[in-house]
Amino acid sequence: MTAQTAPGITTAAKRKPLTRRSAPDRSQFIRHAVQWAFMALNAWLGIQLYLWVRYFERGGASLYVPRPPGVEGWLPIAGLMNSKLFLLTGSVPAIHPAAMVLFAVFLLMSLALKRAFCSWLCPVGTVSEYLGKLGRKTFGRNMHLPRWADFPLRGLKYLLLGFFVVFIGAMSAEALQSFMETPYGLLVDVKMLNFFRDIGQTAVIILALLVLLSLLVENFWCRYLCPYGALMGLVSLLSPAKIRRDTDACVDCGKCARACPSGLRVDRLVQIRSVECTACMSCVAACPAQDALQFSLPPRRAAAPAQRWYRRTIGPLAVTAILAYLFFGLIFLARATNHWQTNIPRAVYMNLVPNANEATHPEI
């Protein structure tokens, strides 16, 4: 987390009369609407996957629903494996191509808008956020771990990410292709569904513990354990969009820092470059001063003779539009080029799906 001063913007902290916003902030209303719309989409994909699996489990004696490729967004490891296979071979993998497409979509979102995927779209992030809110209502506040514990715990997600990167990085193109063509690789989406359908006692205890910790510590999973979020954070370092503070307009009330779910000291920085920033705009919504805090591109010098610097703000509607453009645009392109659906004959699935639980992870 570092600060950088844009030309023409002073860093001196100044107490001055508050110039209140001319219009109410609607960023959180819009963000929550996007969150729940994406939650509904994922719920519909889950229902489709269940109906598709049930068709084969019942030997074709129930309604057939086509397999929804969108569920492969829940397979980031498959997306990482197929991305490497694509880089090695130059061709889009035939098995779970949607996993690679969605993996690329979410990385592009982080490149454009920092970790906006985490706070605007990710269903796990949405659930974690609302668990934190429930925890505040139930216990009066969320716990804040001391810095000596918080900082090393944040490193856990990078260790998990490093494990997957090293493991997959050591695999050859032949090994990746062979893995995807095994029954386990073909049915990884079915096995994901069956994990929740036939969930065991140990998994229930772990999930219950994560829920409890999310009630006590805001965004516990996202902050400390999510390797996907870790990858998004590293990519977000290249994003030109950042939360930026105008120290001339700022009245040093500290509301932005208190509102930040990642615990970043927004009130002390000119721009937020931290990998932990999810572009949720909670700090912007909490700021009472006109134009003091904005999610924006780097300031640009106006035309002479004024020679003033002006900000290029990215509002919540613009964030929504960019996310939708990347999401639907790349999916449309993948569908148009026949790189979206896994084209496996129905007879193969009829043989494999009923025995999905017997498919074990292949040795590599």
Summarize the chain as % helix, strand, coil (round to 5).
Answer: 60, 5, 35
Asked whether residue 340 is domain-assigned, the answer is yes
Asked whether residue 72 is domain-assigned, the answer is yes
**Where in the sequence is the domain holding 50, given as residue range(s)?**
29-236+321-358
Asked whether residue 141 is domain-assigned, the answer is yes
Asked whether residue 137 is domain-assigned, the answer is yes
Q: And the tokens for 100?
A: 């690679």
Asked whether residue 35 is domain-assigned, the answer is yes
Task: Answer whether 19's CB lies under 8 Å from 290's CB.
Answer: yes
Interval 288-312: pLDDT, tens: 999 899 999 998 765 555 545 567 8
**What phi and psi, each to the nearest 5 degrees, are found at residue 63?**
-60, 130
Count up the domains in the chain and report the number: 1
Task: Answer whether 115's CB lies under 8 Å from 277's CB.
Answer: yes
- pLDDT 10s per residue in the chain (364 long)? 444 444 444 444 445 667 787 778 999 999 999 999 999 999 999 999 999 999 999 999 999 999 999 999 999 999 999 999 999 999 999 999 999 999 999 999 999 999 999 999 999 999 999 999 999 999 999 998 888 999 899 999 999 999 999 999 999 999 999 999 999 999 999 999 999 999 999 999 999 999 999 999 999 999 999 999 999 999 999 999 999 999 888 999 999 999 999 999 999 999 999 999 999 999 999 999 998 999 999 987 655 555 455 678 999 999 999 999 999 999 999 999 999 999 999 999 999 999 998 888 776 6
Task: Answer whether 74's CB lies under 8 Å from 38's CB.
Answer: no
Asked whether residue 124 is domain-assigned, the answer is yes
CB contact set of 27 (below 8 Å; sequence gap of 6+): 281, 284, 285, 315, 316
The structure's pTM equals 0.89
User: How many angstroms separate the CA atoms of 143 and 216, rounded?
Assistant: 6
Long-range Cβ contacts of 85-91 (<8 Å, 24+ apart): 85/173, 85/176, 85/177, 85/180, 88/172, 88/173, 88/176, 89/173
Interval 59-75: pLDDT, tens: 999 999 999 999 999 99
Asked whether residue 272 is domain-assigned, the answer is no
User: How many angstroms separate the CA atoms of 321 and 329, rounded?
Assistant: 11
Asked whether residue 268 is domain-assigned, the answer is no
